[in-house]
Structure 1
Amino acid sequence: RGVFQTVVLAFGEADERRLVAFIRADKSQLSEDILKKELGSLLPPYMIPDEIFFLDLFPITANGKIDRSALQERFIQLSEGKRRRQSGAEDIEEVVTEIFSEILQKPISSAQKGIDFFRLGGQSLKAMRLLMRINKRFNIRLSLRDILTNSTVFDLSKKIKEIRSYQDDYSAIEAIEHIGEMEDYPMSSTQERLWFLQCLQPHSSAYNIPFAISLEGNIDLEALKKALLELEKRHDALRIRVPRPSAQVELRQKIARHGAFRLVIHDFSESEDPISKANSGIEKELATPFSFGYNTPLIRASLFRIDKNKAILLLIAHHLICDGVSSEIILNDLRSTYEAYCRQKGV
C-alpha cells in the first residue's frame, strides 16, 4: 500500500550482517516505523530489514537494471546522514550534499560542492525535484529561481541559512475562517504583488512553478485524464482565475467550475532521439508564461511520451495559485488518484 518499488540488500559479514531496504513510496502515508510495524505482522523478525531508506529514484545501470553497487554507496551516505540527525549534529551543507547526491544518483565529493548542479549532471526536471526536496526538508519556500541562481552546494546552503534567519515557521498555520461560496473573492497581498509583477513582464516565465512525474510501465491515458480532472475538482486553487491587466480593474479572483483541465500529449516514441525531443519540449513549456483572464486557467499539463512504457508528466502552475511546498502535495494526490483509477481498470 503506497509502495511503488523495493530492493532489499544485505550488507556486512557474519554477525554484523544487516538487511537494508530501499523503497520508492508515497512518503505522505508511510514512514520507516509504520513499514516495520506492518512487516512485523507478516514476517519473522530475521526477515525484517534493519533499516529502511526512501529514494525518489533507483540508480540504473547502462543495461536498464538497478545499480546495486550505487545503492551500496547511497547506503553509506544515508546511514551517515541518519547518524548525524540522531546525534543532533546535522549540518545544512551536508544535508544539501545528500540531496544533490540522491537526485543526481552519484556521490558528491568535497571538491564538487562548488560545482554547478547542471555541470554535475542536473537538468530541468532534476532541478524541480531538488526544489521540492529542499523546501520539504528545511520547511522553507525557495523558488525555482533561487535554485538556478544558487546552484552549487555551497551557494544553496548559504541561501538556506539566509532564508532560515528571517522566514517564519510555516508549520504553525493559523486557523482560516470559512466564508462560504461567493461569486468572487479578494486577492491576497501576495497574489496582488505577483499579478502586478507578471503584468509588468508579460513575457516572463519567472513565476511558473513546474513539477513532474515519471511514468513507467503500461501508461493508461484515460485513467490519467480522469485523475487530472479529479485533482482539479478537489483543489479549488487549481481553478482560480484572475482578471486581465487593466488600469480600471479591481483585483478579485474567481473559482471556475471544474472540468476544464486538459492534458496535452507530445508523443516522441517514434523519434530517433526521444529523450532530447522530450527535454526540448519541456524547456519550451517551462519558458512559456501564463496570461491572465477569467476564462484562462493558471495550470497546464503536458505528457511527453518517450517510448511505449515511459513518459514524463509535466504540470506547470502560476505562482499565484501554487508554491514549491503545495506542489508536492498535489503531486502525491495525483499519483495516488491515478493509481486508484488504474486499479479499477485492472492495469
Structure 2
Amino acid sequence: ELERLPLTPNGKIDRKALPAPEGGAGGGREYVAPRTELEAKLAAIWQDVLVREKAVGVTDNFFDLGGHSLRATTLVSKMHKELGVEFPLRDVFRYSTVEEMAAAMERLEIGSFTAIPAAESSEYYPLSSAQKRLYILNQLEGAELSYNIPGAMLLEGELDRQRFEEAFRGLVARHETLRTGFEMVKGEAVQRIYEEAAFQVEYVQINEEQAEETVRQFVRPFDLAKPPLLRVGLAEMAPDRHILMFDTHHIVSDGVSIDVLIEELVRLYSGEQLEPLRIQYKDYAVWQQSDEQKAQLAKQEAYWLDMFRGELPVLE
C-alpha cells in the first residue's frame, strides 16, 4: 500500500515510478504456453508491444501486464501489419487475453495492409487533422502553455555533457518533426521542414532547494514557426546528480513520442547506431490528406451525420 501514487506532470499515474510488485505479476496466474500458430504469433506481438522479457501466456491479461490505451492502439496497428487483420480497438478491451483475442480474430475477415508511402519532396506539406486542430487552438488567447508537454527526471551518476548534447542533436537530425515549423501559406496552415535547426541544451547550476522552481520556470511558450519545438535543460545539483528537463509542443509530439525520444536518447548516448527511418510524420500527414483517405473519412462522416440526424437529446 502506498501513501500516495506518483504522478506525471500532466496528472496521470507515473507507472515507471511505482515500486516493483511483490510476487508474480498478472495476479499470480500460471504461465500457459500458446497452443496454436495464431496464439503464438499474438503472444510474440504482445511481448514486443509490452516491452517484456518474459514470455506472454495465453491466459495473461493485456492490462495486468502494463497495457493501456496507447499500447492497445500500437497493438492493433501491429496486428494489422503482421497478421493482416483489422482488429477493432474496442475489442482489445473486450478480449484482453491472447486466447480470447485469437478466438475473436478467427471470426474476422483478413484485410490487406497498405504501407504509408514516402511523400514527394516539397517546399512545405499539409498538416494532419490533429496538427490543424492544435494549430488553431494555439492561436486562442490564454493557450500559450496549454499544449506544452513538459517532463523532468533525475539523472544520477557520471554524465558526459558533450555526449549528452550530441545525442540530442542526433535526435533533431533524425526526426524531421523536430526540425518542423508551422506557418500560414495562402490562407492555409502548413508545415515546413528545415534542413537544420539550431539546438542547444540549457545548462544551469542549482542547489536542491531551487530544483522545483527551476523545473517550473523551464516551461514557457513556443513560437510554432521556429523549430525545434523541443527545449532541453540540464540542472546540475552535484557533479553526479542532475535534473534533465524537457519541454515539447503537442503539435510535434505526444505520450508515445516522449517514450521514443527517451529510449533513442539513451541509445545514442551509449554510442549506438540507429536504423534510418523509412517514413516521417509529414509522410503520414500527406497520406492522411490524400483523396483516397478523404473518401474513407467522407464515409465515416456520413455515418455520424446519420446517427445524429433529427432532434438531439440535451445532456443533463
| TM-score (normalizing by structure 1) | 0.50
Task: Kindly state the Cα deviation for residue 334 of structure 1 after the two structures are TM-superposed.
Answer: 0.8
- The residue number in structure 1 matching 2:239 is 308
1:78 aligned onto 2:25: yes
C-alpha separation between the residues in 2 aligned to 1:237 and 1:164? 32
1:216 aligned onto 2:147: no
% of aligned pairs identical?
Answer: 26
1:184 aligned onto 2:124: yes
SS at match of 2:183: coil
Asked if the contact 1:202–1:289 (Cα under 8 Å) also holds between the matched residues in 2, the reply is no
SS at match of 1:242: strand
Looking at secondary structure, tell me which structure has more helix per residue.
Answer: 1
Quote the RMSD (CA, aligned, Å).
3.7
> Of 224, 240, 265, which aligns to 1:334?
265
- The residue number in structure 2 matching 1:253 is 191
Question: Quick one: which amino acid aligns to residue 309 of structure 1?
Answer: D
C-alpha separation between the residues in 1 aligned to 2:211 and 2:194? 31
SS at match of 1:333: helix
After superposition, the Cα gap between the structure-2 partners of 1:323 and 1:217, relative to the gap in structure 1 and judged at 3 Å, is same
C-alpha separation between the residues in 2 aligned to 1:164 and 1:201? 38
Task: Kindly state the Cα deviation for residue 196 of structure 1 after the two structures are TM-superposed.
Answer: 0.3
Question: Quick one: which amino acid aligns to residue 251 of structure 2?
Answer: L
> Of 79, 85, 90, which aligns to 2:61?
90
Report matched runs for 1:135-284 at 5 Å: 137-139=71-73, 174-243=114-183, 249-268=187-206, 271=207, 274=208, 276-284=209-217
Question: Quick one: which amino acid aligns to residue 267 of structure 1?
Answer: Q
1:291 aligned onto 2:229: no
C-alpha separation between the residues in 1 aligned to 2:162 and 2:183? 32
Moved more, 207-216 or 249-258: 207-216
Q: Which runs of 5+ in 1 are unaligned?
A: 1-54, 60-70, 100-132, 141-159, 166-171, 342-347
Task: Kindly state the Cα deviation for residue 180 of structure 1 after the two structures are TM-superposed.
Answer: 3.0
Task: Kindly state the Cα deviation for residue 301 of structure 1 after the two structures are TM-superposed.
Answer: 0.8
After superposition, the Cα gap between the structure-2 partners of 1:177 and 1:75, relative to the gap in structure 1 and judged at 3 Å, is same
Question: Quick one: which amino acid aligns to residue 195 of structure 1?
Answer: Y
Task: Kindly state the Cα deviation for residue 207 of structure 1 after the two structures are TM-superposed.
Answer: 1.2
C-alpha separation between the residues in 2 aligned to 1:210 and 1:81? 36
Task: Kindly state the Cα deviation for residue 310 of structure 1 after the two structures are TM-superposed.
Answer: 1.4
After superposition, the Cα gap between the structure-2 partners of 1:328 and 1:192, relative to the gap in structure 1 and judged at 3 Å, is same
SS at match of 1:301: strand
After superposition, the Cα gap between the structure-2 partners of 1:174 and 1:258, relative to the gap in structure 1 and judged at 3 Å, is farther
Asked if the contact 1:266–1:305 (Cα under 8 Å) also holds between the matched residues in 2, the reply is yes
After superposition, the Cα gap between the structure-2 partners of 1:83 and 1:327, relative to the gap in structure 1 and judged at 3 Å, is farther
Question: Quick one: which amino acid aligns to residue 176 of structure 2?
Answer: D
Question: Quick one: which amino acid aligns to residue 223 of structure 2?
Answer: S
Task: Kindly state the Cα deviation for residue 216 of structure 1 after the two structures are TM-superposed.
Answer: 2.1
Q: Which runs of 5+ in 2 are unaligned?
A: 1-14, 32-55, 75-88, 95-111, 273-316
C-alpha separation between the residues in 2 aligned to 1:91 and 1:221? 39
The alignment covers a number of residue pairs equal to 204
- The residue number in structure 1 matching 2:249 is 318
- The residue number in structure 2 matching 1:102 is none
Asked if the contact 1:211–1:327 (Cα under 8 Å) also holds between the matched residues in 2, the reply is no
C-alpha separation between the residues in 2 aligned to 1:214 and 1:301? 14
- The residue number in structure 1 matching 2:49 is none
C-alpha separation between the residues in 2 aligned to 1:321 and 1:257? 16
